[in-house]
């Protein structure tokens, strides 16, 4: 630190650092050494060594008065040496998020309410729907809304082109399918790999496909649930981020199960989005590592 800098206390920055690399001894020491070198103090640290994949995962929060360049310079040789995939970001920076919807309002309402309440570090420059029903809700929260029907292959291709264009235009980092009831094309799934989250209205790997609540009713299950997962071309098979269940009994009709399940859908999706936005979700093959 230069004498000038030490004269007035520099304001502290808070960084979040994520690391993925092949597991081997010495990683923590090398990383923490780089952080000390950059005058950083570790305030949160979580790590995981995956036995199945041999991969090491780490998430750090660091406070420091050094600038980002100082940090990146100190980390560069460590990253190089251990072959790390890494990200560095400011703690709490709102993640630019595109939300796709159909007619059901509960997930969108929940996401936008939490965002406004300061509980969800995202910003939502756009909501896109294949139905116009949720325009008014988006408008209440001051979020632009676009809709276009998706009733045939051509319209679907159009809609997906607009999604990709919007991602580009708004520098979208996360796409949230908030009960968007269309199946994405394999191409779009591939393009969004690792940055699109879907809420499935069932406890996966339970009832897949259409109408899981009706299936749950027919099977007489005693718990119903919701699963937030990354979107992959394999429908309902993407890496699971969060799941919740709620108890039901024989007296609930399939229609009531839908209403009961919506609470779990909203909170499960919101939790997954929050963790993603806080850089707490890392991929370990078909599984997720969640640093809560």
Q: What residues act catalytically?
A: 236
Locate 180 and state its tokens.
Answer: 């968007």
Minimum distance of a copy of itself from residue 79's CB (angstroms): 17
Give me the phi and psi of 114, to 5 degrees please: -65, -40
Residue closer to a copy of itself (CB basis): 137 or 164: 137
Q: How far apart are CA 177 and CA 236, in angstroms?
A: 12
Give me the phi and psi of 79, to 5 degrees please: -60, -45
Q: Are 146 and 99 in contact (CB under 8 A)?
A: no
- What is the per-residue DSSP string for 214-234? HHHHHHT-SEEEEEEEE--SS
Check residue 284 for interaction with a copy of itself (CB under 8 A): yes
Among the residue ranges 3-11, 149-157, 181-189, 234-242, the one whose residues contact a copy of itself (CB under 8 A):
234-242
Check residue 210 for interaction with a copy of itself (CB under 8 A): no
Binds a copy of itself (CB under 8 A): choice among 70, 88, 235, 245? 245
Using DSSP, state whether 145 is helix, strand or coil.
strand
Q: Are 135 and 162 in contact (CB under 8 A)?
A: no
Binds a copy of itself (CB under 8 A): choice among 53, 73, 91, 109? 109
SS3 helix, strand, coil % of the chain, rounded to 5?
35, 30, 35
Check residue 103 for interaction with a copy of itself (CB under 8 A): no
Q: Which of 206, 233, 224 is nearest to 264 (CA)?
A: 224
Per DSSP, the chain holds a count of helices (H) and strands (E) of 9, 13
Instruction: Write the interaction track for a copy of itself spanning residues 50-89; mark x where CB under 8 A is met and - where it is not.
Output: xx--------------------------------------
Check residue 26 for interaction with a copy of itself (CB under 8 A): yes
Check residue 113 for interaction with a copy of itself (CB under 8 A): yes
Minimum distance of a copy of itself from residue 69's CB (angstroms): 20
Minimum distance of a copy of itself from residue 57's CB (angstroms): 9
Binds a copy of itself (CB under 8 A): choice among 1, 29, 76, 132? 29
Residue closer to a copy of itself (CB basis): 44 or 187: 44
Check residue 207 for interaction with a copy of itself (CB under 8 A): yes
Check residue 243 for interaction with a copy of itself (CB under 8 A): yes
Check residue 105 for interaction with a copy of itself (CB under 8 A): yes
Q: How far apart are CA 244 and CA 265, in angstroms?
A: 8
User: What single-letter DSSP state applies at residue 194?
Assistant: T
Q: How far apart are CA 203 and CA 92, in angstroms?
A: 30
Among the residue ranges 4-12, 74-82, 143-151, 279-287, the one whose residues contact a copy of itself (CB under 8 A):
279-287
Using DSSP, state whether 13 is helix, strand or coil.
strand
Footprint on residues 123-182 left by a copy of itself (CB under 8 A):
140
Q: Which residues pair with 60 in a beta bridge?
A: 17, 45
Contact residues toward a copy of itself (CB under 8 A) are 24-26, 28-29, 32-33, 35-36, 39-51, 105-106, 109, 113, 117, 119, 140, 203-207, 218-223, 225, 239-245, 247, 249-251, 253, 259, 262-263, 267, 284, 286-290, 292
């Amino acid at each position: 630190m230069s004498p000038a800098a030490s004269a007035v206390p520099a304001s502290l920055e808070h960084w979040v650092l994520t690391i993925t690399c092949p597991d081997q001894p010495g990683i923590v020491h090398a990383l923490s050494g780089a952080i000390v070198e950059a005058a950083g103090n570790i305030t949160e640290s979580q790590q995981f060594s995956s036995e199945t994949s041999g991969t090491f995962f780490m998430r750090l929060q660091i406070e420091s008065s050094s600038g980002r360049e100082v940090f990146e310079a100190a980390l560069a040789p460590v990253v190089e040496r251990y072959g790390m995939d890494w990200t560095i970001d400011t703690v709490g920076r709102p993640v630019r998020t595109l939300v796709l919807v159909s007619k059901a309002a509960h997930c969108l309402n929940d996401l936008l309410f939490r965002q406004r309440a300061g509980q969800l570090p995202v910003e939502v420059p756009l909501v896109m729907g294949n139905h116009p029903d949720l325009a008014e809700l988006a408008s209440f929260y001051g979020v632009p809304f676009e809709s276009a029907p998706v009733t045939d292959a051509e319209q679907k291709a159009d809609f997906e082109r607009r999604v990709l264009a919007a991602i580009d235009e708004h520098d979208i980092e996360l796409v949230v399918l908030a009960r968007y009831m269309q199946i994405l094309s394999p191409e779009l799934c591939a393009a969004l790999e690792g940055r699109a989250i879907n809420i499935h209205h069932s406890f996966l790997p339970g009832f897949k496909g259409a109408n899981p609540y009706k299936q749950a009713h027919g099977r007489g299950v005693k718990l119903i649930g919701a699963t937030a997962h990354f979107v992959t071309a394999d429908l309902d098979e993407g890496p699971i981020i969060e799941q919740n269940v709620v108890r039901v009994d024989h007296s609930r009709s399939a229609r009531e199960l839908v209403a009961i399940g919506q609470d779990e859908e909203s909170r499960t999706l919101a939790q997954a989005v929050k963790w993603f936005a806080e850089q707490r979700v890392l991929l370990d093959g078909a599984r997720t590592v969640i640093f809560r």
